[in-house]
Structure 1
Amino acid sequence: MKNEEAMKTEDLVSWCKSYLANFRSAQLRPNPNLGQTHPTEWQPPEFGGIKINFDVAVRQGTSAFSVACVARNHEGRCLAWKVKRCNGKLQPVEGEALAALQAVLLAKANRWADISLEGDCLPVIKALCAGSGETLHYGAIIEECLFLSQNFSSCKFSFVKWEGNHLAHKLAHLPCSDTLEGFELPVNLVRIITLKLKL
């Protein structure tokens, strides 16, 4: 009787060890990507590359919005910027897609070869990275961006939080009746960039 009880105890310990091992193996593996956070600061492109940030400003109380984009090199120097006012009521995500298209068109007009498009609208960036907008109501805009992006030797898409897209955001909110553009930033925005680069 004592021997039988001893065997049962040993079996129980063995069963517990086996159960614990099975339980541990069934748990979700740690995903290193879960701990990653999206960047909150603007980062320059690699040497020779050009990063174009884009954003949209929906004019509250009106049927108009503005799309803006700004291109900078690896030193953070502005190469070109553009703001365009458009008429119509759109959802913000549709406006963001149009801003991305404006950025691609800016790169094409300047014949840049190595570009990186960066915005703060995650659905738009995900669609561009996935290489398809077929299932989206703004999919035609995404598809046009992707079609035009084939003209570049390199075209990347990246997401940055609003703080890192500050310059494009400020440009989109400039008073604009039609189109504003240039190679040098407005003076009040140059100060913002200078301060950011010093930090």
Structure 2
Amino acid sequence: MIRVLLAEDQQLLRNALSSLLTFEDDFEVAAEVADGQQAWEAIQKYKPDVCVLDIEMPSISGLELAEKVREANLPCKIVIVTTFARAGYLQKAMDARVEGYLLKDEPIEYFIESIRRVMQGERVISTDLAAALFMKEDNPLSVREVEVLILAKEGMTTDDMSKALYLSNGTVRNYLSSAIQKLEAESRQQAVKAAVEKGWI
């Protein structure tokens, strides 16, 4: 019996996946949760064989959760599900050593068979996602631009950044401006979002 944990914040999709898995003779849904923190607690409590994690969830994202599971040396397999064919996300998933990375619009038969293959020791990636990995863009950001975007992601002001990096406010603003230009964004928040999606910060 393959014991599965489902972590998906869209209730309709979560319920549908749970029902379909329950119909299979070799599956048992150990738990179904709506956010990353609940998933982390359920993984430790129920010790599932496979964790099916939505890539974007409240509290803790699927990728962050995958990293926590690996750091804790928990034995469960991890399958990330996503609506986004983004190379940066896929690269981060590979870095976290996930066993599966699937698009949500895959046929349910493919989804179920992928979990079985993962349990047999295979790594399964949706074809469209694998193609995205080969189209990966080179990171145009300098080390300093990456640093200021990471601090911006943490909510720091320009003044906070200048103190943290031992730079003047003007220098920090220049790095932010340069990063925003390179990412063709209109604000630091948009630049952070773009850099995260591409896996550059």
TM range (shorter): under 0.3
Higher CA-based Rg = 1
Higher strand share: 1
Which protein has greater RCO, CA pairs closer than 8 Å, 6+ apart?
A: 1
